[in-house]
């Protein structure tokens, strides 16, 4: 199966369209959460995702906040403004879709969570130490996570007591090597100083992770955000990828 791996779309419909164009035909799409939040197009993103084949889409913290399942005080003041805007802007269909999202999913040897296997909604998995502890919280060889918006691979050594942190070069293919926790990066708000939308194509038979970055019309998204009066910092960060 050729599976499109998406995460942290964050209501950035222009970036999502660019990713879907670049991905081409896929057999399934797995989205690791945060479809909404920050960006100007939450309803368009949900509608587009629903068209994808064999969709698995998890609930992220911004999705939970947008439907009132996570309190606003877990966000910084600017993110809170954005969550309030999302709450007011999502349609009944979008709300119903988000309410049905699971917090965790398993498919054959793959475990999917938004933040971390230990804490699927909120933990930021950024270093080897936190990753090492998280290998005890899923059984299979691979876990895919989002949430930090940083593409990264955490590889557990054969002794099971040390984690190697790897980065995969953009637009190259990586051979999966058990056991690993892998983050595909963010479609709609990258934070690794590369503003291009990030995603991956998993070939589940070959065991390859095709890690991709693609340009999109950032200025068009910024104009929509300005028109919606979204926080300036969230508008600016898109063009530098932080």
The residues of the shown chain that bind Zn ion, judged by CB under 5 A, are 8, 34
Smallest distance, Å, CB 199 to Zn ion?
14
Q: How far is the CB of 27 from Zn ion (least distance, A)?
A: 26
Give the residues across from 183 on adjacent strands: 152
Beta carbon of residue 120, minimum distance to Zn ion (angstroms, whole number):
13
- Name the residue with the smallest CB distance to Zn ion: 34
Locate the DSSP E strands across the chain. 2-6, 28-31, 55-57, 104-107, 110-113, 142-144, 152-156, 163-166, 172-175, 180-183, 197-203, 208-214
Q: Exposed, middle or buried: residue 88 (CB in 10 Å: 0-12, 13-18, 19+)?
A: exposed
- Token pair for 1: 């199966």
Nearer to Zn ion, 94 or 156 (CB): 94
Nearer to Zn ion, 64 or 163 (CB): 64
CB 34 → Zn ion: shortest distance, Å?
Answer: 4
Q: Which is nearer to Zn ion, 8 or 210 (CB)?
A: 8
Distance CA 19, CA 13 (A): 10
Return the number of the residue (73 or 92) whose C-beta is nearest Zn ion: 73
């Amino acid at each position: 199966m050729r599976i499109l791996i998406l995460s942290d779309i964050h209501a950035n419909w222009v970036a999502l369209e660019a990713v879907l164009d670049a991905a081409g035909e896929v057999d399934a799409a797995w989205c690791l959460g945060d479809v909404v939040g920050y960006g100007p197009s939450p309803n368009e993103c949900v509608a587009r995702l629903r068209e994808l084949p064999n969709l698995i889409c998890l609930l992220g913290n911004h999705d939970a906040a947008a439907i009132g399942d996570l309190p606003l005080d877990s966000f910084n003041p600017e993110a809170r403004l954005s969550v309030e805007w999302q709450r007011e802007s999502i349609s009944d269909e979008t709300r119903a879709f988000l309410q049905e999202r699971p917090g965790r999913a398993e498919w054959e040897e793959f475990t999917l969570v938004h933040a971390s296997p230990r804490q699927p909604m909120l933990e930021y998995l950024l270093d080897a130490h936190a990753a090492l502890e998280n290998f005890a919280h899923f059984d299979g060889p691979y876990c895919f996570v989002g949430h930090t918006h940083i593409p990264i691979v955490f590889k557990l050594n054969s002794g099971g007591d040390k984690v190697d942190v790897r980065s995969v070069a953009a637009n190259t293919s990586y051979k999966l090597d058990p056991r690993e926790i892998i983050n595909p990066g963010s479609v709609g708000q990258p934070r690794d100083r590369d503003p291009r939308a990030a995603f991956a194509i998993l070939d589940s038979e070959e065991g390859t992770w095709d890690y991709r970055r693609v340009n999109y019309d950032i200025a068009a998204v910024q104009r929509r955000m300005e028109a919606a009066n979204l926080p300036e910092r969230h508008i600016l960060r898109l063009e530098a990828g932080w």
